[in-house]
Amino acid sequence: MKKPLSLALRRLLPWTISFAALAYVFGWLTDWKALVAAMKSANIPAFVAILVIDKLVFFIGWALLQAEALRRFVRPVRYTQVLAVRGGAELLRAVNGGLADAALVLGLVQVTESSLGTVVAASTFPYFGHIAVLLLQATLAVPLLAGGLAANRDVATLVGAGWLIALAIFLFVRLAPAMPRLARSSAGIWIGRFRPRALMPYFAWFFVLAVIDIAFQWFATRAFGIPIPWPVLAARIPILYVAISLPSLGGFGPRELTWAYLFSGYGSREALIAYAFATNAIFLALSVAIGVVFLPRALDLVLHVRASRAAGVALPERLLPGRTDS
């Protein structure tokens, strides 16, 4: 009885958070006339173009980095295979990020023919690089903020908590081989082979993506008429990512609330809410479009792998058409 109840609560939680947050934002906080005026003053074509490029760059970048992690630590899968599976899972990201991540992992388990624990460990490996870059990004941006730590206690709190968590993860990785039960699991075996220097290529690539992310947000906010200095974006975007990691329906609700709070000094509340809502709506539409394009190929790939495994036939050298991966 506990499991069905727990499952039902997990399914309802994203909807509850999103609807509650959206009701609060648009039913209580927002002056609708000011919100419409903010939308009218924006350069919508430029804003949409920037977000489309942003979404595609990060979709392809994440797929390639996850493929590289799988090739290095699990099995030499093709980049196109991971791109197809991630693209198919993107359709679920329009509903909930957790569902999309779960679908991605299950698809990669089928493609790599590896254990769930191994694929989870390897496919989420790039997240360590991303988190490390976000933490360093916020840390380096703090001295550039007006008022320093005293005027930016939220950023200081995030940075302090982030370094404590980083230290805990480092100690866990170092001590994991000494924990017999964990060391014998597939994830434990993978952690036992982990070397911190293996994180460096991902750190370098996510540093590039972080710079691109700040640049996209810098241009997008200006196109929307609410220019925000780049040091403020660099320091506060990591807080935004923490907030939108909460389970919610397509990210709606937490993004609007967080964006309006984080950048309240650089635009009206209505303009900030309109910016966040428009960003979410465009990203949702792009997730659906990417999912529709890639889902058939992802399903064909997974079914082909399962059929080949069941028949005892070696997988073909190439499962998806297109150019050969380098």
Domain range summary for the chain, segments of one domain joined by +: 39-126+207-311
Q: What value, to the nearest 5°, has the Cα angle with vertex 200 and ends 198 and 204?
A: 145
**Half-sphere exposure of residue 314: CA atoms within 13 angstroms, side-chain side:** 3
Rg of the chain's alpha carbons, rounded to an integer? 21
Rounded Cα gap, residues 66 and 69, in angstroms: 5
Residue scoring higher pLDDT (23 or 72): 72
| Secondary structure (DSSP) of 37-58 | HHHHTS-HHHHHHHHHHHHHHH
Q: Which residues contact 113 (CB under 8 A, 6 or more apart)?
A: 75, 305, 309
Query: Which pairs from 179-188 meet CB under 8 Å and 24+ separation?
Result: 185/117, 186/115, 186/116, 186/117, 186/118, 186/121, 187/117, 187/118, 187/120, 187/121
- 253-259-262-264 Cα dihedral, nearest 10 degrees: -110
Residue scoring higher pLDDT (26 or 130): 130
Let me know: does 224 contact 51? Beta carbons within 8 Å: no
pLDDT above 90: residue 215: yes
Tens-place pLDDT, residues 6-23: 555 555 666 566 666 566
Structure tokens at 38: 């903010």
Residue 311 phi/psi, 5° resolution?
A: -85, -5
Whether the model clears a pTM of 0.85, i.e. scores above it, the answer is no
pLDDT above 60: residue 235: yes
Dihedral over Cα of 177, 179, 181, 182: its sign: negative
Q: Which of 154-158, 189-193, 217-221 has the highest mean pLDDT?
A: 217-221
